[in-house]
Chain A
């Protein structure tokens, strides 16, 4: 019997997208220290995102935002047993190689960091580690999947505590899927051109009525109600960045958002977990006229 005789095939699309499937219905929390990671795990996070500064602080501080210090990432890996994610800059495949060498469980090729390449994203299919990428519409999601992304998240507008952009992106992606499903075959070629996405992926979405990978929501989720809203709009889980550790009672808020994602269709549970939370992160209005929006990064 081949008991342990074969070594198995690592880095297949099935095991990469499979981890994303295991994260569904969960909350992935941004953490900057091992202590925050432990708190997130104890609150029921299904994974943590290790980064040096949460998006709200990246916004405030300005300058070039890069991959986190590997020592800091390792410290967080040592502190928890749940999956640990980390961000690399768009197109910065050397940062991604370093994160893979650290045995990070998921790499987020993220617009929250300063892009390293203005034309190309990382060739994610060349990696053993799975990647999650942000998207604002269906075409962008499919381009990232074509490059090998094993998971998609709406970009929203990170660090704002304002859910409006996440809602726009989720509705745009879902609307794009519904549009494709309704198209006859001969119109799906032009659709692929319009979406700037491979025809093969367009066909798959049209047949399945869903993206071929898990789709989470991110960027501006600050309350249990925000999380429930995104889940009802079709998100399969949520990322919460600044929303937890920029709030007045991170532990309680973290637990509340976790419960809200599980019971997103149960307003009574949502009412219970939303009550008595201290202040949410202050949040900022998304100003589309002035200043750079993080969501416009990525091509």
Chain B
């Protein structure tokens, strides 16, 4: 197995405009990352990864667009920063939605349907078979959850439900329609940390000179 260069403690930003960002901060801490709440464009400097949490995607989009934060996130992600979006975060990272126009971050070649499973009374918990975790199903918490109606060729589907993708990834983007941050199962956060470390290993320049100065530099082999 290839040894990844280990960032001693990667610094992960968590978009903190609205929603369940505190739960992600806890999850990241538990898998061994540092975190920083991102409310202003300047908060994006020096990050090793970014989480877009669950919340209301219209609120995230409107507020983000108003303050210039969405543009800043787009520019940062275009530079290859690994990103993890849950529920509303998955919507924000999609290139398009089936509904009306709303401000998105985009970058991931999928088309999502918002509230695809229905209103809150249809919100549910169910076991999810995720391809990276064949050992045991993942406890899926779906809250007014979206699904991906279309998934582009460069995007790997990690789980489906009723024929629709509910988890997907590329090398640098990971999205789930459900909420790993509301469970005690840390495998998805751990998977994201591995993506962050791999991206760091392949990126010799580094998107985060500030933070990496503190990090122990173990060479990729």
Contacts and interface: CB of A to CB of B under 8 A. Distances in A.
Nearest to B183: A14
Nearest to B67: A259
Contact of A103 (B17, B67, B99, B121): B121
B23 interface: yes
Interface residues of A, number: 47
Contacts of A61: none
Contacts of B144: 19, 22, 83, 105
B124 A129 contact: no
Interface in B95-147: 99, 114-115, 118-127, 129, 137, 141-144
Interface string B55-71: 11011001100110000
A24 B56 contact: no
A128 B123 CA distance: 9
B17 A18 contact: no
B120 A105 contact: yes
Given A26-B55, A42-B62, A82-B56, A262 B123 contact: no
A43 B21 CA distance: 21
B208 interface: no
Contacts of A129: 120-121
A262 B16 CA distance: 8
Contacts of A19: 120, 123, 143-144
A45 B59 contact: yes
A263 B38 CA distance: 11
Nearest to B122: A10
Interface in A13-27: 14-16, 18-19, 21-26
Contacts, number: 141
Interface in A78-103: 81-83, 100, 103
Query: Which residue among B54, B115, B124, B163 has the maximum number of chain A CB atoms within 10 Å of its CB?
Result: B124
A245 interface: no
A130 interface: yes
B142 A15 contact: yes
A46 B206 CA distance: 36
A8 B118 CA distance: 13
B125 A9 contact: yes
A211 to B, nearest CB: 14
11 contacts: A4-B161, A19-B120, A22-B88, A41-B58, A44-B18, A44-B58, A47-B56, A81-B99, A100-B121, A105-B121, A261-B18
Interface of B: 16-23, 39, 54-56, 58-59, 62-63, 66-67, 87-88, 99, 114-115, 118-127, 129, 137, 141-144, 160-163, 179, 182
The 7 closest A-B pairs by CB, nearest first: A8-B124, A4-B162, A8-B126, A105-B120, A15-B123, A25-B18, A46-B56
